[in-house]
């Protein structure tokens, strides 16, 4: 199912000279299965901290996160993480990178090779299976990371600004590929980003964090499948403006709503 429940989550870090720093403060949210949720905020707002707690890489100071009703106490194969930095083994070929998690699980060689080749085909890297990471473009490395994660068949996908360092055209292309993949292989997805357009284009909901607090939980009602025409529509511009105002006015704690935006995009003349 991959239902995520965040209950009064707080995370603090103790610094030797500056004392305690609250990265998250009393954050609560409920995420239904197979929902795509963008976590949006300025730098230092607690986005990655929240993702790391859900991934089981960081323990909360107080509160808890439940996955299908069970507390998360550490990493698990039910959650796949695509990190902001390229998390690839530079000495292994692309196909062997994708095989790595399956190899650790003890899957037989022929079976894991077939599964790795399947996911490389899905992400468009079939012809690059025997290349090494240093021979790949930035976009290809992200596709390889995604294939590595998906080969382990997680029910929850956690992505930490995976496209932040890419050029705009490549980023848009990978966003479309991700939506197409999730249409055929649905997963509960948490996607950390500081990009307003990216959050709107990809997600069903946007959680906005500011200074460690959840200040808004906004539904996104654009129809699917989404195409690049949506990015140029008046409705999309209005939604971007509202999200921008929410971020810009975060210090005033003024959550805004996207409710009432048209669910469909009119055809362009």
Residue 50: is its pLDDT beyond 80?
Answer: yes
Contact 40, 9 (CB under 8 A): no
pLDDT confidence of residue 18: 65
pLDDT confidence of residue 160: 95
244-260 pLDDT, tens digit each = 888 766 645 444 334 43
Give the residue-averaged pLDDT of 50-74: 96
Residue 151: is its pLDDT beyond 90?
Answer: yes
CA–CA dist 108, 28 (Å, integer): 42
CA–CA dist 2, 80 (Å, integer): 12
pLDDT confidence of residue 52: 96
pLDDT confidence of residue 26: 96
Q: What are the domain boundaries of the chain?
A: 79-153
Pairing outcome for strands 4-15 and 19-31 = antiparallel
Determine which helix (DSSP H) or strand (DSSP E) holds 96, and give its type and residue range. helix 94-105
191-206 pLDDT, tens digit each = 999 999 999 999 999 9
Instruction: Report the percent of the chain where pLDDT is more than 70.
Output: 91
End-to-end CA distance of the chain: 42
Residue 88: is its pLDDT beyond 90?
Answer: yes
Evaluate the omega torsion of the peptide bond into residue 144 and state whether it is cis, within 30 degrees of 0: no
- Tokens found for residue 252: 């005033």
Higher pLDDT, 237 or 252: 237
CA–CA dist 175, 177 (Å, integer): 5
CA–CA dist 151, 117 (Å, integer): 9
Contact 122, 183 (CB under 8 A): no
Give the residue-averaged pLDDT of 159-185: 92
- DSSP 8-state assignment for residue 44: T
Coil, strand or helix: which one is 170?
Answer: helix
CA–CA dist 97, 267 (Å, integer): 43
Mention every residue, 6+ apart, whose C-beta is less than 8 A from residue 107: 115
- DSSP 8-state assignment for residue 36: E
CA–CA dist 241, 174 (Å, integer): 24
| Residue 67, strand partner residues | 4, 70
Give the residue-averaged pLDDT of 120-135: 94
C-alpha 176 chain-centroid distance: 14
């Amino acid at each position: 199912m991959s239902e995520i429940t965040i209950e009064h989550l707080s995370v603090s870090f103790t610094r030797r000279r500056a004392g305690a720093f609250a990265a998250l403060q009393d954050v609560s949210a409920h995420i239904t299965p197979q929902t795509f949720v963008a976590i949006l905020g300025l730098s230092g707002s607690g986005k990655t901290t929240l993702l790391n707690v859900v991934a089981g890489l960081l323990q909360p100071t107080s509160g808890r996160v439940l996955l299908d009703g069970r507390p998360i106490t550490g990493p698990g194969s039910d959650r796949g993480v695509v990190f902001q930095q390229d998390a690839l083994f530079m000495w292994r070929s692309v196909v062997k990178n994708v095989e790595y998690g399956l190899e650790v699980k003890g899957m037989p060689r022929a079976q894991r090779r077939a599964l790795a080749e399947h996911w490389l085909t899905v992400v468009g890297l079939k012809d690059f299976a025997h290349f090494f990471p240093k021979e790949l473009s930035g976009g290809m490395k992200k596709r390889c990371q995604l294939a590595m994660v998906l080969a382990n068949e997680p029910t929850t996908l956690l992505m930490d600004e995976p496209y932040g360092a890419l050029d705009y055209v490549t980023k848009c292309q990978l966003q479309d590929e991700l939506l197409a993949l999730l249409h055929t292989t649905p997963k509960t997805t948490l996607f950390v980003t500081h990009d307003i357009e990216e959050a709107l284009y990809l997600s069903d909901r946007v959680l906005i964090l500011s200074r460690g607090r959840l200040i808004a939980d906004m539904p996104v009602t654009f129809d699917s499948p989404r195409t690049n025409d949506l990015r140029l529509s008046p409705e999309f511009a209005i939604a971007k403006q509202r999200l921008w105002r929410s971020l810009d006015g975060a210090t005033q704690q003024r959550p805004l709503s996207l409710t009432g935006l048209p669910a469909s995009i009119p055809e362009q003349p």
